[in-house]
Structure 1
Amino acid sequence: MTSKSSSRGDYICRVRYRNQLPSIPFPPKLLTSQPLVARNAQYTTNSLIEQTPHLLNLDSSSGIPFDKLLVDYLDMMETNPDVVRMNANVSDVDKLLMTPPRDEKELNKQGRKPNVTWLRRSEYIASTERKQKQANVPEIRSKLSQQDMEAHTYRTHQSQMEGVDATFIRHDLTTLRHPRTKKRAKKLTPILPDMTCWENVYTIGQFPSDPADNHRLNKRQRLDASSKQPSELDAADRGILRPISNPHDPNDSYLIWFLPDEDSSNVLKQQKTDPQQVLDKPLNFEAVRDYTYRNDNAPGHQNLLLVLQHDEQQQPVMLYSLVKSKLVAQKKRALAPQYRYMNDYEKPNVLSVTYQ
């Protein structure tokens, strides 16, 4: 309904549209449609189509103003690359834009500084001071020739193959010398991978102090000095590190250091003197200390674990295993009194270990 007046017409109520159609008698159903990849047709061409140039057809009814002479000129330049481009009618201002840009590598070789103020060294520093610092730098020159450098670094594929073949050649002890000290070799020992424990993962562990407990440290002070390591006398070198996470804080992960008890330490010391002894009973390890850790597995920190053994002909053989990472442990700090509730969870205090 509307009310009309002399000036304008205003709506009194809104128009409402009602759908009088009945509801659908069956539930909706999903139809399987063909995927988009299967809808595309594979386009194949031949050399004749690729070599045929596509002409630009101009339509006057398209409404776009084309320059017919410019299009013919560009078409001639593409079809006839040997044509000479005339630049007689180019102004002097536009000729500056037609000069080819200079190579940046050539500019760097000439030692020219870029014309950028924020890339230049501050000119308030005295030039004599800069020259004095450069004069104090010692000049290091390598005594190795180019051939020796390529042989030691194996830069090319041929040098790599020659380096692998050279490892199978038995050197002469009379001519073999150290490259720097020039000392002669006395004995040759082959270095082979240790296939018996090749699958084991080794890590160098670095502790901030002696990881033994207070009982072992006090006992070492009463004993006399011996040629053996203190850790070998009380089996402190057979400890176990077990990772654990704080359930209240997922970011708080640390290691628990376990050491064998007195009875298990005696069994492990006897097993060192008699390797043929079978450890058929489980050994108990007690928790000593908590450590936070940082695992560094950079390629520069990888080392080799070498073990000298004898083969079937009783010849000395050096077996190596790869130590891939380095673990740096630090003593875990105690929590503040207001955060003591975060330590209220179950921790393993004793480990039962069975050797096979």
Structure 2
Amino acid sequence: MASRNSKTDLIVRVRYQQKLPPPPFPPRLLHIPTSPHRYAEAGALNALASEREVPMILDGELGLPLEMGKIPDGAYGDGEEEYWIGNRSAIVPTGPAPTPHEDDLFLLGDVAAAGPSSASSSFVGTPGHIPPGGGTPAMGERRKVDVSWLRRTEYLSSDPGSKVLTDKQAPSAHKTDEPLLDSLSRDARAKTIAATFTAAHIPLSELRHPSKAHLRAEEAWDVLPDAELWPNQLNLVRFGEDPGERAEKEGTNGVGTGGGHGFLDPRLPRALFRPVELPADDNRVGYYLPVSDQVAQAYTKKRERVLDDDDEGEGGADEEEGFEFVHVRDYEITTTRNLVGEYVFVVHDGLGKEPDQGGETVTSTGEKEEEVGSAGGGEKRARGAYFTPVKMAQTLRKRRPRRGEDPTVFAHDPDRSEEDQLVFWDKIQVKVTPIDEVLPEAEKEDREKELRTVLEPPRRV
């Protein structure tokens, strides 16, 4: 067996030598006086005594013998023979009980419910009176607080009754559970629903804000479901960066009309998302915008014209007219959550069909263009605030390609055939046609079913 030679076993002795000489005198020993009462308190052993159960075993050899037959004279009074037949008058007083002292009243309480005794736990009561519940009021209200050894930090109190309840925790004295509408009759349901419109009959000048009394109501609007948007699923999308910020490559490639002047980008309202359904990247979507501001404005007007023709039943849409959308970037869906009770409102003043009733639009280059809405085209909507539920909220962030990855080349999907493999779309040609001409029959029935919930009156039960 080979052995390894080394200069020394202790490297520290070579690298770090102790050159200081030893002290010329021994260390001084200090005597710190300590009171022996620190270790003689009975309370120091309470925790140990509560953890261990000491068995009491009688030792026949070391224990003292109890000879019950040898009773000294006069041990149980004069009539000792009566004690053995049930007379306990010699050891139990028969007169009225003496009045306990105030300091001894806490001894009459319930030991199981009582906490550590203190001077504040005693009370002054009438002689011979024991409070109901088997203890003093302080003992009766005191409860043991069981705290686990692992829990978040909280301020605990030994007296839970002293805590001040908040508005949410305080129970309402007159709060009653309202019955559900499904469990009521038709007349009771109509009465319950009509009671919710009490504020609608209050004069506008008397309406007050529920929490800000200085605010006054200026106008009142009818809140109605939006039949135009109701069959569609609306999502709330949040971007980590400004989606309208024009990258430098867009200006150099001739895409768009400017390089980020800080004006409202008219292309944003017409943006398209295309999901990229890859096996290893299911949260990827492509982001497309119109190729220029002029294309975005022409696309908006074409949508309005097709919608007006569809409402009038003419169907005069030009199917050959197309609009070019270009790929800008890819996004990743970071978070997705379902929404309940969230709505988006569209306010109409009743003067014409919304949106675009004429006005001014600022392009990305800062130029202002006048837009004229269709006068008399389409059906005018009644004045009101139209709401549509928002079903889902998503957060998007720009997707950064990995090192050596070509974002325009998708990986091969083994679950797809060669003809159905997903390819990169750098541009999209969009044509606007009425929705009834392109939707399958199954989707048409689903949309009509959703639309009937807001257009048709409820069926009589």
**Quick check: which one's helix share is greater?**
1
Report the TM-score, using the length of structure 2 for normalisation. 0.39
Report the TM-score, using the length of structure 1 for normalisation. 0.49
**Quick check: which one's strand share is greater?**
1
